[in-house]
Homo-oligomer: A and B are copies of this chain.
Amino acid sequence: MASALEILEPTFRKFEKRARLDEGDREAFFSLPYEVHSYDPQRYIVREGDRAPAATIILNGLAYRHKVTVEGARQILSLHIPGDFVDLEGALLTVSDNNVQALTRCQVARVPCAAIISLIDNHARLARAMWIDTLIDASIYREWITNVGRRDALVAMCHLLCEFTRRLEVAGLAHREGYDLPMTQEQLADALGITPVHANRILRDLDARGLIMRDKRFVRVPDWEALRKVAGFNELYLHLDQAAVTPPVGILATVKI
């Protein structure tokens, strides 16, 4: 198995963008105990009601988060890509309120909650970086509420495609022009709060309009700007800019207003 350095590197690089981390932070992070697990597609990584003993980092592959209403309808809540902590909340909240399932086959690192808690109690800036990560997740949830609540199915689908494209692009996992979207139409429908039949019609419509080109599950975006415009996509909410702009520890502690 690869070393902690290789395994956890992408996640740490992401955190470095969120706060100024030093050698001590780096060392502590790479000393985290973990186990690598592998999940087949559709296998559950987290289950609602779980009292998770460990937090999970995706190493490769994709996962999705969802809830099921009492009537049995499923709503997909977020998509997770390599480097994402999929259940930091598992370490800090007592029980999980949702499910996380493997979308494609994926490998994850499981870090015991106690180690996470120790880490964040002793490394304030690292904690801040992780916290910022969860704030960005929250920001994406807010956009999804808007997507599902206030955009019609066609626009919402374009918005989802734009978001996914940009996130994959930033993570170095896809090109803006085309990538493999490993979701079934049923899963897309569950992310948009529509039926699979309707998702199908929307995709064909987008194809017919030349906004996307499909070949099986490979999606090509011939004209990114056109798709962006239809979606009304403004990537502010992804906070991709979030570099180490927060001031260093302590120096502003005495500021008064």
Chain A positions 145 through 178: 1 when the CB is less than 8 Å from some CB of chain B, otherwise 0: 1101111000100000000000000000000000
Closest 8 CB pairs of A and B: A149-B193, A70-B232, A114-B252, A141-B141, A118-B253, A148-B149, A138-B138, A97-B237
Q: Does residue A246 face the partner (Cβ distance < 8 Å to B)?
A: yes
Chain B residues within an 8 Å CB radius of A146: 67, 69, 75, 77
Chain B residues within an 8 Å CB radius of A95: 236, 239
Query: Least Cβ distance of A243 to chain B in Å?
Result: 8
Chain A positions 204 through 240: 1 when the CB is less than 8 Å from some CB of chain B, otherwise 0: 0000000000000000000000000000101011010
Is A112 a contact of B232 with CB atoms below 8 Å?
Answer: no
Chain B residues within an 8 Å CB radius of A48: 236
Chain B residues within an 8 Å CB radius of A142: 65, 67, 77-78, 97-98, 141
Is B139 a contact of A89 with CB atoms below 8 Å?
Answer: yes
Chain B residues within an 8 Å CB radius of A239: 93-95, 97
Q: Does residue A9 face the partner (Cβ distance < 8 Å to B)?
A: no
State whether A75 and B138 are in contact (beta carbons under 8 Å apart), knowing that A33-B255, A241-B94 are contacts in the complex. Answer: no
Is B77 a contact of A112 with CB atoms below 8 Å?
Answer: no
Query: Least Cβ distance of A141 to chain B in Å?
Result: 4
Is B69 a contact of A121 with CB atoms below 8 Å?
Answer: no
Measured CA separation A216–B228 after assembly (Å): 43
Q: Identify the interface centre among A93, A141, A145: most chain B CB within 10 Å of its CB.
A: A145
Chain B residues within an 8 Å CB radius of A236: 48-49, 95, 97
Chain B residues within an 8 Å CB radius of A73: 150-151
Q: Does residue A120 face the partner (Cβ distance < 8 Å to B)?
A: yes
Can you list 29 A-B pairs with a CB-CB distance of less than 8 A? A33-B255, A35-B257, A48-B236, A69-B151, A70-B234, A71-B232, A92-B132, A93-B239, A94-B239, A94-B241, A94-B245, A95-B236, A95-B239, A97-B143, A97-B237, A98-B139, A98-B237, A114-B252, A117-B128, A121-B128, A121-B249, A124-B124, A124-B127, A134-B138, A141-B142, A141-B144, A148-B149, A149-B192, A149-B193
Contact size range, A: 35 or more
Q: Does residue A115 face the partner (Cβ distance < 8 Å to B)?
A: yes
Query: Least Cβ distance of A29 to chain B in Å?
Result: 14
Measured CA separation A33–B78 after assembly (Å): 37
